[in-house]
Amino acid sequence: MESTLVILKPSTIQRALVGQVIDRFQKKGLIIAGMKMMQLSEAILREHYAHLVDRPFFPGLLESMRATPVIVMCIKGRDAVEVVRAMTGATNSRKALPGTIRGDFSMSGQENIVHASDSLESADVEIRRFFTADEIFDYNPALMRSMYAPDEL
Ligand code: IDP
Ligand code: MG
């Protein structure tokens, strides 16, 4: 099973969409292996968004990601990285397809509801960036056998 990192961004907290977004992941059959609220520091955001620090919108992104605490989630499932990315939709929410989280809940390129890891490699790094080992729980819901065929587990 793969694990991936999701961040419910400050706009999701402000707009009271936390429950609806988490509901989508749970209904899909993804497992919440870790979840907590935290205030992101500039330092952790510079690391997390290292690929964007030189972009003109970066100061605005920093401010936006620090506007309120966020909710960080470690989400587990078969092919979880790809599945969660697909559920998230395109970066610019106006281009994100209807049915995706960004496509359904946002009109913005910046205020786009969730972060989701873009590869297995970044998921591993990002989960360790936001969680300590004892904050990730290794359990399987009782309904696991109804959610997957035996050869998919
Ligand atoms: P992703 O979140 O879809 O992986 P990235 O390119 O990694 O997209 O960008 C990280 C975040 O930076 C985006 O989710 C968005 O909040 C913000 N961002 C990316 N491009 C722009 C832009 O052109 N203007 C404003 N914010 C942007
Ligand atoms: Mg990204």
pLDDT tens track for 67-81: 999 999 999 999 999
Tokens of 133: 């080992």
Check: pTM over 0.85? Answer yes or no: yes
pLDDT of 5:
99
Choose which residue among 110, 113, 115, 117 to substitute to test ligand 1 binding: the one with the highest number of ligand atoms within 8 A of its C-beta.
110
pLDDT of 147:
94
User: Rounded mean pLDDT of 79-102?
Assistant: 98
Give the pLDDT band of residue 111 (cuts 50, 70, 90): very high
- Are 115 and 11 within 8 A, CB to CB? no
- Which residues in 11-32 are b (16+ Cβ under 10 Å) and which e? bbbeeebeeebbebbeeeebbb
- The residue annotated as part of the active site, out of 48, 76, 102, 115, is 115
Question: CA 28 → CA 32, 33, 66, 101, 108, distances in Å?
Answer: 12, 15, 29, 13, 25
User: Rounded mean pLDDT of 35-60?
Assistant: 98
Question: What is the helix (H) or strand (E) element at residue 73, kind and residue range?
Answer: strand 70-77
